[in-house]
């Protein structure tokens, strides 16, 4: 384990046990990144295949995707083309999974507070309005000003894939921001399709959809059999959206936002463990089924569905979508017409410039006037790359081309504009991300503390105005963190009120299975004013931090146990831990403990004498009371 700081001395070698744990943690992240990049590469290959297919054998491309499928019984039948099946049905599943992830972030993740959530919401609104204005200005006089809807929406599928391919180092906060923005963007764009570009809008089926959505919400209260009920109601809602004329992919987002998400409840986990022990003592199919069902039910359906659908979305649905929609004919005649067409240039200007200026400009204004909370890692240089990626407007842009433009030649010119804008936006984003990473200052590479100490938010032990500050990013199950905690107590006994100590969470979830639960439990204890008492209790018994052990600790410390158990799964506790973990990711923290001495990352031994020496040496950096060196 490497502790951290700027110093002329070489860093101490990591202890073997913690070094192997760190490597396993990094390996898990690399595998996850590899999975998302594999899906993104497959998406790009499918896009290239569609373009080649449409230009080499265009007739077969159109004929294949216009093949009709009829599904039904008796007089109740649905007739779909293969193209519509992909865009209306399979893509509803994709938007459903995106909605699930955003719902989780709003419920127990990074967007639990309005100050954080308002940033992507306002950016999405600006990213809808400004591109439309730019398009109308450029396309004025072409006769196609009414097609402004082509440039309003970001393609969520390509956005996620492109970010995985060319995104910056430590993209955690940027990904959450872009996903939330994309969902708001999609809801706005699909609503505009319903209000502006739908000729056969029928409001009555939406009443059925509303009743179905109410049923989706209340299904969570059923004791058993929730899966079939969710599936049945989801199909009804989807069919109702389809019958109304509103694009049915919006049904996927609406359903996802109503699916419950929560941290596992202690009683459910303990019950699952009891059933597993019963099965171990008397193995039979009945106990096996009961244990498996109990384990599954202890995890929220939101997280179960995300895990279940993710591979199918990445490796089946998105490549099929690209194959069905990216077949743009690029003949010399069409390209020549597109180059001279204000419609084409209006689309390019709207998607590339409008999205970039709308998203980046709105976030820059919010930063300037300190509106909303951005957090470490969500800097303007990274936001500029993310804003550029928002110019990839494939999915809904192509939908609206067919709806808003009837002339076939103009449709081809518009499709060329959408394709060209998406390529240009991808290239610009790649350049911005590469430049951002190459020029990233030390504050953003983890050499200095990314977020200054704030006594109103942070857990501070000691005088808030102390001249010396140690900030620790740690894990309650890490033996080396226990050692560091003891050293810091020795430092405090020497320096007294001259030292303040701050704890922040960086649980190694791939190494310590109970570390995340311990961090959230400490936050629940903090809500009753006993964070550091709970911290010491967790360190005193690192081997026993299961849910029942955590509740026992709360009881021993005299906490209100009912309130404690309620706070364990509250957005305040889970969101606080998630925010610390994203801060750690933004600073490249991959091992614990990681210490910051007066805002500078500490490298070398962390015994008491070494820490005192580092604190004294840091005075040469003129460290101020915020814990960050003053310039």
In 3D space, the residue among 483, 507, 482, 626 whose CA is nearest the CA of residue 578 turns out to be 507
- Give the per-residue pLDDT at 247: 80
β partners of residue 601: 596
Q: What six digits make up the tokens of 209?
A: 């959809």
Taking CA atoms, 205 is separated from 70, 238, 406, 490, 510, in Å, by: 21, 10, 27, 69, 47
* Residue pair 152/189 in contact by the 8 Å Cβ criterion: yes
Per-residue pLDDT tens over the stretch 216-235: 999 999 887 888 999 999 99
* Residue pair 350/128 in contact by the 8 Å Cβ criterion: no
Class of domain 459-621: alpha beta
Same fold, 57-198+246-264+299-440 and 459-621: no
pTM, 2 dp: 0.74
Q: Using alpha carbons only, what angle is made at residue 565 by residues 562 and 571, rounded to the nearest 5 degrees? A: 125
- Give the per-residue pLDDT at 557: 95
CA distance 474 to 511: 13
- At what angle are helices 355-368 and 114-139 packed, to 10 degrees? 140
Ordered DSSP codes for 442-498: GGGTTSB-SS---TTTSEEEE-TT-SEEEEEEE-TT-HHHHHHHHHHHHHHHHHGGG
Domain 57-198+246-264+299-440 has CATH 1.20.1530.10: yes
* Residue pair 93/314 in contact by the 8 Å Cβ criterion: no
* Residue pair 261/103 in contact by the 8 Å Cβ criterion: yes
CA 47, 50, 54, 57 dihedral sign is positive
Listed by start position, the domains of the chain span 57-198+246-264+299-440, 269-295, 459-621
CA distance 318 to 389: 17
Q: Which residues contact 82 (CB under 8 A, 6 or more apart)?
A: 64, 65, 66, 67, 69, 324
Phi, psi for 46 (deg, rounded to 5) = -65, -35
Structure-token match 């293969």, residue found: 82
Output helix, strand, coil percentages for the chain, rounded to the nearest 5.
Answer: 65, 5, 25
Which parts of the chain register pLDDT below 70?
1-37, 73-76, 110, 264-267, 269, 440-445, 620-631
CA distance 625 to 627: 5
Per-residue pLDDT tens over the stretch 535-561: 999 999 988 888 788 989 999 999 999
- At what angle are helices 547-556 and 266-281 packed, to 10 degrees? 130
- Give the per-residue pLDDT at 14: 40
* Residue pair 363/123 in contact by the 8 Å Cβ criterion: yes
CA distance 55 to 48: 11
Mapped onto helix, strand or coil, the DSSP state of residue 223 is coil
**What b/e readout covers 595-625, taking b as 16+ CB neighbours within 10 angstroms?**
bbbbbbbbbbebebebbbebbeebeebebeb
Q: Which residues contact 434 (CB under 8 A, 6 or more apart)?
A: 166
CA distance 326 to 418: 10
- Give the per-residue pLDDT at 620: 60
Q: What six digits make up the tokens of 163?
A: 């970010």
Structure-token match 């983890």, residue found: 446
Q: What six digits make up the tokens of 416?
A: 């060329």
Mapped onto helix, strand or coil, the DSSP state of residue 539 is helix
Structure-token match 């706005």, residue found: 188
- Give the per-residue pLDDT at 433: 94
Q: Which residues contact 59 (CB under 8 A, 6 or more apart)?
A: none
β partners of residue 448: 600
């Amino acid at each position: 384990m490497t502790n951290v700081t700027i110093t002329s001395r070489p860093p101490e070698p990591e202890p073997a046990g913690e070094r192997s744990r760190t490597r396993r943690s990094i390996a898990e992240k690399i595998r996850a990144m590899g999975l998302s990049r594999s899906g993104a590469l497959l998406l790009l290959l499918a896009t290239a295949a569609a373009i080649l297919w449409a230009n080499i054998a265009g007739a077969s491309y159109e004929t294949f995707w216009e093949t009709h499928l009829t599904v039904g019984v008796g007089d109740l039948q649905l007739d779909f083309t293969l193209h519509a099946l992909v865009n209306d049905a399979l893509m509803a599943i994709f938007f459903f999974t995106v909605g699930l992830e955003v719902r989780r972030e709003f419920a127990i993740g990074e967007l639990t507070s309005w100050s954080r959530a308002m940033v992507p919401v306002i950016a999405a609104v600006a990213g809808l309005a400004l591109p439309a204005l730019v398009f109308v200005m450029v396309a004025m006089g072409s006769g196609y000003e009414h097609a402004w809807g082509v440039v309003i929406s970001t393609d969520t599928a390509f956005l996620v894939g492109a970010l995985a391919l060319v995104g910056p180092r430590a993209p955690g906060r940027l990904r959450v921001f872009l996903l939330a923005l994309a969902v708001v963007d999609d809801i706005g764009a699909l609503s505009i399709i319903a209000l502006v570009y739908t000729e056969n809008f029928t409001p009555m089926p939406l009443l059925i959809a509303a009743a179905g959505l109410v049923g989706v919400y209340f299904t969570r209260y059923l004791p058993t059999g929730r899966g079939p009920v969710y599936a049945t109601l989801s199909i009804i809602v989807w069919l109702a959206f389809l019958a109304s004329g509103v694009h049915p992919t919006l049904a996927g987002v609406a359903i996802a936002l109503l699916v419950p998400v929560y941290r596992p409840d202690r009683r459910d986990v303990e019950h699952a463990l009891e059933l597993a022990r019963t099965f171990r003592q008397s193995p039979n199919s009945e106990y096996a089924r009961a244990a498996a069902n109990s384990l599954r039910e202890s995890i929220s359906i939101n997280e179960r569905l995300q895990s279940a659908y993710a591979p199918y979305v990445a490796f089946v649905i998105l490549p099929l979508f690209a194959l069905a929609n990216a077949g743009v004919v690029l003949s010399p005649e069409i390209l020549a017409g597109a180059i001279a067409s204000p419609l084409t240039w209006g689309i390019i200007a709207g998607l590339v410039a409008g999205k970039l200026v709308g998203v980046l400009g709105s976030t820059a204004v919010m930063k300037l006037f300190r509106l909303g909370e951005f957090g470490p890692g969500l800097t303007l240089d990274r936001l500029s790359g993310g804003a550029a990626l928002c110019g990839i407007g494939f999915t809904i842009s192509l939908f609206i081309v067919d709806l808003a433009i009837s002339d076939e030649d103009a449709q081809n010119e518009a499709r060329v504009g959408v394709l060209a804008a998406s390529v240009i936006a991808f290239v610009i984003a790649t350049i911005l991300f590469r430049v951002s990473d190459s020029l990233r200052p030390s504050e953003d590479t983890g050499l200095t503390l990314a977020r200054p100490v704030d006594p109103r938010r942070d857990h501070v032990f000691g005088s808030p105005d102390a001249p010396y500050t140690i900030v620790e990013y740690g894990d309650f199950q890490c033996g080396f963190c226990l050692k560091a905690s003891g050293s810091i107590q020795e430092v405090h006994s020497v320096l007294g009120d001259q030292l303040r100590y701050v704890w922040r969470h960086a649980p190694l979830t791939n190494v310590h299975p109970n570390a995340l639960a311990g961090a959230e439990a400490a936050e629940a204890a903090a809500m009753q004013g006993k964070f550091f008492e709970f911290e010491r209790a967790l360190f005193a018994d690192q081997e026993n931090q299961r849910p029942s052990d955590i509740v026992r600790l709360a009881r021993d410390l005299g906490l209100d146990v009912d309130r404690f158990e309620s706070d364990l799964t509250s957005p305040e506790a889970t969101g606080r831990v998630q925010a610390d973990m994203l801060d750690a990711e933004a600073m490249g923290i991959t091992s614990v403990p990681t210490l910051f001495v007066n805002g500078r990352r500490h490298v070398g031994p962390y015994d008491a004498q070494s820490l005192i020496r580092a604190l004294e040496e840091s005075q040469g950096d003129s460290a101020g009371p915020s814990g960050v060196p003053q310039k």
